[in-house]
């Protein structure tokens, strides 16, 4: 058994776990079922392996498996869209239930924010400003929603609009709600992302909304990224699919950030 440390607590890796990491490097994503069959072990054994690798931040959890954790470059759009897809849908429905009709909102770049856009299909009299062409195309199907698309540089990898022109455009507005995503949430409550141009837009969105919320599945609490967006305590609410780690949960309680967990396992309003 060889000791190993990677962006997290020390762990002991077996030959099988080393092989799992190598498979994740090559394929970007591994599943419990495939690994159990490959190594001829039980699914419970593989889940334990993945849990240890995720705790050490070598891998990051996905629905039914794991993917290679990265603190420098984000995963591809297709991989991100496939990660925790069911959970994102549940989070999106919960978030949309807290957005009233007859309001204005920002929605930024992210696969979870895109799920929120789909969940808003039945809302009426919305004004939505977005730097996400996928969000704009989704909400264009709602005849009761006016969509304003920010200008800027098109990031072809995910149809996001970024850059100073986007920031300047966002600053023209003051809206009721902001729905933002992030690539990672650090243990100290920092919201993190990979592209500093996208981060500048997210910061402008938060500054120009009366209420801001983060939509993030539980995998975001096990990942890291290099650029700081804001602190979770700068926001009003968090929508997620599992009760956050203890440190994050304590920060939210201390600063009055409402935590809403899909499935009703926990839902608290800020004071």
CATH of the domain at 43: 1.10.10.10
What's the CA gap between 149 and 49, in Å, rounded? 44
- Count of Cβ atoms closer than 10 Å to residue 256 Cβ: 13
Same domain as 200, residue 153: yes
Question: Is 152 inside a domain boundary?
Answer: yes
Nearest to 106 by CA among 126, 129, 123, 124: 129
Given 13, 42, 69, the domain boundary residue is 69
Within a domain: residue 219?
yes
- Residue 74 domain-assigned (yes or no): no
The answer to whether 116 and 65 have CB atoms below 8 angstroms apart is no
Cα–Cα nearest to 127, from 114, 119, 115, 136: 136
Last residue of a domain, one of 44, 69, 94: 69
Q: How many structural domains comprise the chain?
A: 2
Q: 46-52, long-range: CB within 8 Å, 24+ apart, which pairs?
A: 46/20, 49/14, 49/16, 49/17, 49/20, 50/20, 52/11, 52/13, 52/17
The residue among 69, 90, 108 that closes a domain is: 69
Mean pLDDT of 64-90: 64
Spatial CB neighbours of 181, under 8 Å, sequence gap ≥ 6: 108, 109, 110, 111, 112, 113, 214, 215, 216
Rounded Cα gap, residues 251 and 232, in angstroms? 8
Whether residue 259 sits in one domain with residue 172: yes
Report the distance separating Cα 22 and Cα 39, nearest Å.
Answer: 14
Answer yes or no: do 201 and 229 share one domain.
yes
DSSP 174: -
3-class DSSP state for residue 102?
coil
Confidence of residue 4 (pLDDT cuts 50, 70, 90): very low
Q: Are residues 117 and 222 in the same domain?
A: yes
Q: Are residues 51 and 117 in the same domain?
A: no
Report pLDDT for 56.
67
Say whether pLDDT at 84 is over 80.
no
3-class SS at 3?
strand
Q: Are residues 144 and 12 in the same domain?
A: no
In a domain, 76, yes or no: no
- Kindly report whether the global pTM for this prediction surpasses the value 0.75: no
57, 159: one domain: no
Domain hosting residue 49, numbered range? 2-69
**Are residue 191 and residue 229 in the same domain, yes or no?**
yes
CB 224 within 8 A of CB 71: yes
Q: What is the pLDDT of residue 1?
A: 35
Predicted confidence band of residue 223 (pLDDT cuts 50, 70, 90): confident
Q: Residues 96, 210: one domain?
A: yes
Predicted local confidence at residue 263, as pLDDT: 78
Is 235 found in the same domain as 133? Answer: yes
The whole-chain average pLDDT of the chain stands at: 86
What's the confidence (pLDDT) of residue 24?
83
Residue 263 lies in a domain: yes
- Structure tokens belonging to residue 46: 């593989």
Say yes or no: 17 and 129 in one domain. no
Q: Across residues 181-187, what is the average pLDDT?
A: 93
Residues 96-140: tens digit of each pLDDT: 999 999 999 999 999 999 999 999 999 999 999 999 999 999 999
Average pLDDT over residues 147-171: 94
- Confidence at residue 7, expressed as pLDDT on a 0 to 100 scale: 40
Please check whether residue 98 lies inside any domain of the structure.
Answer: yes
Contact 231, 189 (CB under 8 A): yes
Cα separation, 11 vs 234, in Å, equals 34
Provide the pLDDT for residue 10.
37
At 38, list the tokens: 């490959």
Q: d(Cα 50, Cα 44) in Å, to the nearest integer?
A: 10
């Amino acid at each position: 058994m060889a000791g190993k440390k990677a962006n997290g607590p020390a762990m002991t890796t077996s030959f099988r776990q080393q092989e799992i990491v190598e498979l994740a490097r090559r394929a970007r994503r591994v599943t419990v079922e495939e690994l159990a069959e490959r190594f001829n072990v039980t699914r419970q054994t593989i889940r334990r392996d993945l849990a240890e690798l995720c705790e050490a931040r070598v891998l990051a959890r996905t629905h039914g498996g794991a993917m290679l954790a990265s603190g420098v470059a984000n995963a591809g759009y297709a991989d991100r869209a496939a990660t925790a897809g069911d959970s994102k849908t549940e989070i999106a429905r919960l978030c949309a239930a807290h957005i009233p009709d007859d309001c204005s909102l920002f929605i930024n770049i992210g696969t979870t924010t895109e799920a929120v856009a789909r969940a808003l299909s039945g809302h009426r009299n919305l004004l939505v400003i977005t730097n996400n062409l996928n969000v704009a195309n989704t909400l264009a199907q709602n005849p009761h929603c006016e969509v304003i698309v920010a200008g800027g540089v098109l990031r072809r990898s995910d149809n996001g609009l970024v850059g100073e022109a986007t920031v300047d455009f966002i600053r023209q507005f003051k809206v009721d709600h902001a729905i933002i995503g992030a690539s990672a949430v650090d243990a100290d409550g920092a919201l993190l992302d990979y592209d500093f141009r996208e981060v500048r837009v997210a910061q402008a969105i938060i500054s120009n909304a009366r209420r801001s919320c983060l939509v993030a599945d539980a995998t975001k609490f096990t990942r890291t990224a290099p650029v700081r967006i804001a602190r979770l305590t700068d926001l009003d609410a968090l929508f997620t699919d599992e009760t956050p780690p203890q440190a994050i949960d304590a920060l939210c309680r201390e600063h009055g950030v409402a935590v809403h967990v899909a499935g009703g396992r926990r839902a608290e309003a800020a004071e």
